[in-house]
C-alpha cells in the first residue's frame, strides 16, 4: 500500500513538472498546439472535402466520417499528452544511455520513462476531437444511452492503451536494431489507414490493420459499432485487443530492458 | 565564375553527405508509397460511381495522386531544420564567418538535397507507383519540360519560405513545432491532399494564385495538359513573382533577425 502511495505521489510530481514546462514557455506551447492541430487538420480537411463532394465515403456519410476521424484522433492526442516519451527510447535512452539514470532509481523504469516528458498542448487536439465527435454524434443521430457513453469511455481508455502499446512495441525494437526508430515512424505513417473507413482498402491492408498492427480498433471498428454498422461485439473485443497488444509490448519491453547494457560511456 | 564553381562544390558535398546515410531512405520511400496507396483507394471509390470529377478521369487522378504525394514528400525536409540546428548549437557563429553568405551556403544545401531527392526518392517512388497503379503519362514533351521548370521554380521559392521558418528558431526553444506547421500548411495549401478544384469555389480560386499552388497543383496541371498555353505562362510568371516576393521577404527578415545575433554574441 505504501508503495502504491509512493508511486501515486511520484506520478503527481511528474505531472506537476510537466505542467510547469507547459506554462514556462508560452510561445512554444502555443506553437506546439497549433502544429498538432495543423497536422490533424490537413488529413481531416482532405477527407471532409472528398466526403462533401461525394456525399459520403464508401457508404459512410459525412457525419460518420467525422466520428471516425475523431475516434482515431482521441487516443493519439492523449498519448502525445502523457506518454510521448516512448518516442525517445531509441535516441535519448538507448543510444545516449539515458536508461542508466532511470535504472538506478527506485521506481519502475517504464513509469519513470513516461514521466520524463509531457506534451500537454495535445489536450487542445483532444478537446477538438471531442468537439468533432459531439458534432458528428448529434447529426448522425446516435442515441445518447448509458451504453454508448460507457463505450466511448472504453474507447478512450483502451484505445489509448492500444495505441501507445503499439508505439512502445516498435520503439523497443531499438534495443536490437539501429533502424528501430525508422520502423516506428513507418508504423506511425501506417496509422493513417485508421482514419479512413477500412473497408475501402484491399483485404491485405484490412487484415494488417486488424491483426498485425491493430490500429483498426482505435478508429474504424469503434466508429462502426457506434453507427450500428457492425455485428462485432466491440465492447468486449476492444479491451481484448488492447490487452493483447499491451502484453506483447510489455514482453518485448521487458526483454529489451533485461538485455540492455549501457553505452559504455 | 569562381563563385559558381564554389557553389557547385558545396552542392556536391551535401549530396555526398546525404549519400552516406541511405539506410533511412527505404523508410522514407515506403512512407510516401503508403500515402499514395491511401489516396489511390480513396479516389477509387469516387470513380466507381462516376467517370469524371472536377475534370479529372480516374487515370488522370491517379497521376495526380502519385505526382502530388511525391512532390509533397519534400515538404517535411528543407533547410529550416539545418538552419535551426545551427542556431541551437551555436554553429551559426562559425557559419556566419564563412566566405560565402548564409543564403548561398544554405541554398547550396537545398540544391544538394533536391538533387538527392530527385534521384533517390522521387525516381523510385514514381517508378514503383506508375508500374503498379498506372495513371496517364504527360500530355506532351513540352509539358514535361514546363513541369520541371515549374517544380524547380517552386523549390527555389520553398527555399526562401524555409529560411523564414528557420529564422523563427531564434525565438523558440525547439524547431519541431514550426517545422510541422510549415509541412502541414504546405500540404494543405498546395493541393497535395486534395486538388484545388475540390475546395469551395472561392477558397479554390484564392489558393490557385497563392504561392503554394506552384508547388504541387500548377506543375501537375501542366503535366496533365490541363492548362492552355496562356494559363501555363500566367502561372509560371506568377511563380516567378512569388519567388521574388519571398526572396525580398526572407532577406528583409534576415536583416532584422541577424542584429539580434550580433547583440547576443557581443
Confidence (pLDDT) at B262? 58
The predicted model gives B215-227 an average pLDDT of 94
Confidence (pLDDT) at A264? 63
Q: For residue A141, count CB atoms less than 10 angstroms from its CB and return exposed for 0-12, middle for 13-18, buried for 19 or more.
A: exposed
User: What are the two backbone dihedrals, phi and then psi, of residue A99, each rounded to the nearest 5 degrees?
Assistant: -65, -25
Render pLDDT for A9-57 as a digit per residue (tens, 0 to 9).
999 999 999 888 888 888 888 998 999 899 888 888 888 888 887 778 8
Render pLDDT for A218-237 as a digit per residue (tens, 0 to 9).
989 999 999 999 888 999 99
Q: Do B27 and A47 touch (CB under 8 A)?
A: no
> pLDDT-based confidence at B121, cuts 50/70/90?
very high
The ranges assigned to domains in chain B are 2-265
Could you give the percent of chain B with pLDDT greater than 70? 97
ipTM of the assembly?
A: 0.87
Burial readout B79-88 (b: 16 or more C-beta within 10 A, e: otherwise): bbbbbbebbe
Q: What is the DSSP code (8-state) at residue A265?
A: -
Closest CA to B152 of B51, B58, B236, B29: B236
> pLDDT-based confidence at B25, cuts 50/70/90?
confident
Whether A176 and chain B come into contact, CB under 8 Å, resolves to: no
What residues of chain A lie within 8 A of the CB of B43, using their CB?
Answer: 50
Which has the minimum average pLDDT: A103-107, A165-169, B71-75, B249-253? Answer: A103-107
Q: Tell me how close the Cα of B111 comes to any Cα of chain A, in angstroms.
A: 25
Which has the minimum average pLDDT: B12-26, B121-135, B197-211? Answer: B12-26
Helix orientation angle between B25-49 and A180-190, rounded to the nearest 10 degrees:
10
* Position B40 pLDDT exceeds 80: yes
The neighbour count for residue B170, using CB atoms within 10 Å, is 17
Q: What is the DSSP code (8-state) at residue A57?
A: B
What distance in Å separates the CA atoms of residue B202 and residue B184, rounded to the nearest whole number? 21
The predicted model gives B82-102 an average pLDDT of 84
Q: Which of A49, A61, A91 to mutate to test the interface with B (most CBs of B within 10 A)?
A: A49
Confidence (pLDDT) at B266? 41
* Position B136 pLDDT exceeds 80: yes
> pLDDT-based confidence at A265, cuts 50/70/90?
low
What distance in Å separates the CA atoms of residue A98 and residue B237, rounded to the nearest whole number? 53
Interface size A-B, in CB pairs within 8 Å, comes to 97
Question: What is the pLDDT of chain A when averaged over all its residues?
Answer: 90
> pLDDT-based confidence at A260, cuts 50/70/90?
confident
The ranges assigned to domains in chain A are 2-259
The predicted model gives A77-96 an average pLDDT of 90
Contact A68/A200 with Cβ under 8 angstroms? Answer: no
What residues of chain A lie within 8 A of the CB of B35, using their CB?
Answer: 189, 192
Render pLDDT for B157-210 as a digit per residue (tens, 0 to 9).
999 999 999 998 888 888 888 999 999 999 989 988 888 988 888 999 999 999
The shortest CB-CB distance from A27 to any of B37, B172, B185 is to: B172
Q: Tell me how close the Cα of A39 comes to any Cα of chain B, in angstroms.
A: 5
Distances (CA, A) of A10 to A105, A119, A157, B100, B198: 12, 18, 21, 52, 51
User: What are the two backbone dihedrals, phi and then psi, of residue A197, each rounded to the nearest 5 degrees?
Assistant: -60, 115
Could you give the percent of chain B with pLDDT greater than 90? 56
The predicted model gives A126-139 an average pLDDT of 94
Contact B72/B187 with Cβ under 8 angstroms? Answer: yes
Distances (CA, A) of A119 to A80, A122, B27: 6, 6, 26
What distance in Å separates the CA atoms of residue A63 and residue A61, rounded to the nearest whole number? 6
Q: Do A43 and B193 touch (CB under 8 A)?
A: yes
Which has the minimum average pLDDT: A25-34, A61-70, B87-96, B148-157? Answer: B87-96
The predicted model gives A92-102 an average pLDDT of 87
State whether residue A60 is helix, strand or coil: strand
Q: For residue A95, count CB atoms less than 10 angstroms from its CB and return exposed for 0-12, middle for 13-18, buried for 19 or more.
A: middle
* Position B109 pLDDT exceeds 70: yes
Which residue shows C-alpha cell 497521376?
A: B63
Which residue shows C-alpha cell 494488417?
A: A208
Whether A203 and chain B come into contact, CB under 8 Å, resolves to: no
As a 3-state breakdown, chain B gives helix, strand, coil percent values, each rounded to 5, of 80, 0, 20
What distance in Å separates the CA atoms of residue B227 and residue B239, rounded to the nearest whole number? 15
* Position B263 pLDDT exceeds 80: no
* Position A75 pLDDT exceeds 90: yes
Q: Do A34 and B188 touch (CB under 8 A)?
A: no
Q: Which of A21, A28, A47, A90 to mutate to test the interface with B (most CBs of B within 10 A)?
A: A28
Render pLDDT for B44-88 as a digit per residue (tens, 0 to 9).
888 887 888 888 899 999 999 999 999 999 998 889 988 888 888
Q: Tell me how close the Cα of B99 comes to any Cα of chain A, in angstroms.
A: 34
The predicted model gives A149-156 an average pLDDT of 95
Amino acid at each position: 500500500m505504501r508503495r502504491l502511495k509512493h508511486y501515486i505521489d511520484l506520478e503527481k510530481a511528474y505531472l506537476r513538472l510537466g505542467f510547469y514546462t507547459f506554462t514556462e514557455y508560452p510561445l512554444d506551447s502555443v506553437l506546439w498546439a497549433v502544429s498538432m492541430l495543423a497536422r490533424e487538420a490537413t488529413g481531416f480537411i482532405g477527407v471532409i472535402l472528398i466526403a462533401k463532394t461525394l456525399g459520403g465515403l464508401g457508404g459512410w456519410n459525412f457525419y460518420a466520417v467525422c466520428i471516425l476521424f475523431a475516434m482515431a484522433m482521441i487516443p493519439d492526442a492523449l498519448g502525445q499528452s502523457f506518454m510521448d516519451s516512448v518516442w525517445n527510447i531509441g535516441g535519448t535512452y538507448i543510444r545516449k544511455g539515458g536508461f542508466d539514470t532511470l535504472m538506478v532509481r527506485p521506481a519502475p523504469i517504464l513509469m519513470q520513462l513516461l514521466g520524463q516528458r509531457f506534451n500537454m498542448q495535445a489536450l487542445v487536439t483532444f478537446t477538438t476531437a471531442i468537439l468533432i465527435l459531439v458534432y458528428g454524434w448529434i447529426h448522425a443521430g446516435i442515441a445518447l444511452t448509458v451504453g454508448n457513453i460507457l463505450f466511448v469511455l472504453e474507447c478512450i481508455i483502451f484505445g489509448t492503451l492500444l495505441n501507445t502499446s503499439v508505439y512502445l512495441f516498435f520503439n523497443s525494437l531499438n534495443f536490437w536494431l539501429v533502424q528501430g526508430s525508422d520502423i516506428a515512424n513507418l508504423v506511425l505513417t501506417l496509422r493513417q489507414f485508421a482514419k479512413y473507413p477500412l473497408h475501402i482498402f484491399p483485404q491485405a491492408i484490412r487484415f494488417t490493420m486488424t491483426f498485425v498492427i491493430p490500429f483498426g480498433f482505435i478508429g474504424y471498428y469503434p466508429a462502426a459499432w457506434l453507427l450500428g454498422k457492425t455485428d462485432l461485439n466491440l465492447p468486449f473485443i476492444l479491451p481484448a485487443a488492447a490487452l493483447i497488444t499491451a502484453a506483447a509490448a510489455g514482453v518485448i519491453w521487458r526483454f529489451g530492458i533485461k538485455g540492455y547494457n549501457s553505452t559504455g560511456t | 565564375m569562381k563563385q559558381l564553381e564554389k557553389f557547385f562544390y558545396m552542392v556536391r558535398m551535401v549530396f555526398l553527405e546525404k549519400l552516406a546515410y541511405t539506410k533511412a531512405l527505404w523508410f522514407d520511400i515506403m512512407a510516401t508509397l503508403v500515402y499514395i496507396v491511401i489516396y489511390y483507394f480513396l479516389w477509387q471509390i469516387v470513380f466507381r460511381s462516376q467517370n469524371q470529377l472536377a475534370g479529372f478521369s480516374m487515370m488522370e487522378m491517379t497521376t495526380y495522386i502519385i505526382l502530388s504525394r511525391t512532390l509533397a514528400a519534400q515538404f517535411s525536409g528543407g533547410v529550416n531544420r539545418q538552419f535551426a540546428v545551427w542556431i541551437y548549437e551555436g554553429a551559426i557563429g562559425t557559419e556566419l564567418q564563412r566566405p560565402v553568405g548564409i543564403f548561398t551556403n544554405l541554398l547550396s544545401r537545398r540544391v544538394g538535397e533536391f538533387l538527392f531527392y530527385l534521384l533517390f526518392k522521387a525516381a523510385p517512388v514514381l517508378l514503383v507507383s506508375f508500374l503498379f497503379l498506372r495513371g496517364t503519362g504527360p500530355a506532351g514533351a513540352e509539358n514535361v519540360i514546363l513541369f520541371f521548370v515549374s517544380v524547380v521554380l517552386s523549390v527555389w521559392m520553398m527555399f526562401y519560405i524555409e529560411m523564414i521558418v528557420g529564422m523563427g528558431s531564434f525565438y523558440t526553444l525547439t524547431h519541431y513545432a514550426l517545422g510541422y506547421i510549415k509541412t502541414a500548411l504546405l500540404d494543405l495549401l498546395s493541393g497535395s491532399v486534395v486538388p484545388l478544384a475540390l475546395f469551395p469555389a472561392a477558397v479554390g480560386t484564392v489558393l490557385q494564385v497563392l504561392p503554394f499552388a506552384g508547388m504541387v497543383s500548377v506543375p501537375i496541371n501542366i503535366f496533365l495538359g490541363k492548362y492552355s498555353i496562356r494559363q501555363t505562362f500566367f502561372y509560371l510568371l506568377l511563380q516567378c513573382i512569388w519567388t521574388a516576393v519571398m526572396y525580398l521577404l526572407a532577406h528583409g527578415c534576415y536583416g532584422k533577425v541577424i542584429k539580434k545575433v550580433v547583440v547576443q554574441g557581443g
